[in-house]
Amino acid sequence: MSGARLREIALGVAGTIAFLAAWELAARLGPGSALFPPPSGAVAEALARLPLATVADHVAVSLGRITAGFAAGAALGVAIAVAAGWYRTFGNFVRPVVELLRPIPPLAWIPMAIVWFGLGEASKVFVIFLGAFFPVLTNAYRGITGVDPTLVRAAQTMDVTGVALLWRVMLPAALPDIAVGLRVGWGLSFGVLVAAELIAADRGMGFMIMNARQTAEVGVIIFGILLIGLATLATDWVLGLAIRRSVGRWHPV
């Protein structure tokens, strides 16, 4: 590892430690530690109040929801984008409807989702689905319609037309844009998941935090916030890695 890289990491670590130390100090010297616990206190309180199994359960439920919603949203987003890009007429029908619905924040759909699907899993998965659907659709559409015409012409000179052209040339060419859409969509889905769980759930990481508010267990709340932040980072990192290893081999990511 080069000297410059080591320096980068060292500074990063130093900065984090300095931040945590400042937090610790401010908490101990500051207002009542009940409302503003130091990082050490927060984690300790959380682990004392919540058995690890419960936390694991909440995390699992949350991840299950977001995976289901995201998978559905991404799959449908790509499918519709490809169809809309390939069949002009379908695209002309679908685009206005999409453009009208897109500016509505996914969270705004929650009350109607509850009306349609009740208070169970389906309503939450639906809203998460919306969170992923629009970014993936937008980016995939841009990818499919933005394919370099030279590539299409080259394929035609090699007798590749019709569906084969779509499958072997246009879809791969659209992959970098689709990858961006997936990444953005995942981030949005996560935010939507948390919100949905705060508003209307009885399990999950968001619920864990909201529940702790009733009893003012600030430690648990902070622990929950940090946990969600970590989960977001970790999943985004994994997604980024997968993208780098696939699309990243032939396209700058």
Partner 1 sequence: MHARTAPAEARPKIAVRAVTKRYGAAVLNGLDLEVAENEFVTLVGRSGCGKTTLLNIVAGLVEATSGDVLVDGAAVTGPGRGKGVVFQAQALFPWLTAIRNIEFGARSRGLDAAACRAEAEQLLALVGLAGYGDRYPAQLSGGMQQRVAIARALAQDPQILLMDEPFGALDEITRIEMQDELLRVWSTRRKTVLFVTHSITEALVLSDRIVVMGGGGIVAEYPLDAPRPRSRADARLAALHERIWEHLR
Partner 2 sequence: MRWVDRPWFQGTACLVVLLALWEGASALGWLKPFQFPPPSRIAAASWEMVVAGFPTGTRIGQHALVTLQRIFTGFALATVAAIPLGLLIGRVPALDQLTLPIVTFARSVATLSLLPLALLWFGLGETSKVMLIAYACFWVMLTNAIAAAKYVDPVLVRAARTMDVRGPALFFEVILPAATPRLLAGARVAIGIGFMVIVGAEMIATVAGLGALIMEARTFYRTDVSIVGMIALGVLGFAFTAGLAWLEGRLLPWHRGLAEVRR
The smaller minimum CB distance to partner 1, of residues 50 and 169, is found at 169
- Report which of 10, 34, 18, 47 is spatially closest to residue 220, judged by C-alpha positions: 47
Of the candidate spans 14-22, 44-52, 77-85, 163-171, the one that interacts with partner 2 by CB under 8 A turns out to be 14-22
Q: Is residue 251 involved in binding partner 1 (CB under 8 A)?
A: yes
Contacts 24+ apart (CB under 8 A), 164-171: 166/82, 166/86, 170/82, 170/85, 170/86, 170/144, 171/82, 171/144
The smaller minimum CB distance to partner 2, of residues 155 and 225, is found at 225
218 binds, among partner 2, partner 1, none (CB under 5 to 8 A by kind): partner 2
Query: Is the CB of residue 90 less than 8 Å from the CB of residue 144?
Result: no
103 binds, among partner 1, partner 2, none (CB under 5 to 8 A by kind): partner 2
Minimum CB–partner distance for residue 95 and partner 2 (Å): 6
Neighbours of 118 (CB within 10 A): 10
- Report which of 54, 247, 237 is spatially closest to residue 143, judged by C-alpha positions: 247
Q: Burial level of 208, CB count in 10 A (0-12/13-18/19+)?
A: buried
The smaller minimum CB distance to partner 2, of residues 112 and 164, is found at 112
Please pick, from the candidates 110, 128, 137, 140, the single residue that binds partner 2 as defined by CB under 8 A: 110
Q: Is residue 53 involved in binding partner 2 (CB under 8 A)?
A: no
CA atoms of 138 and 134, how far apart (whole Å):
6
Minimum CB–partner distance for residue 168 and partner 1 (Å): 8
Q: Please, which of residues 173-202 interact with partner 2 by CB under 8 A?
A: 180, 183-184, 187-188, 190-191, 194-195, 198-199
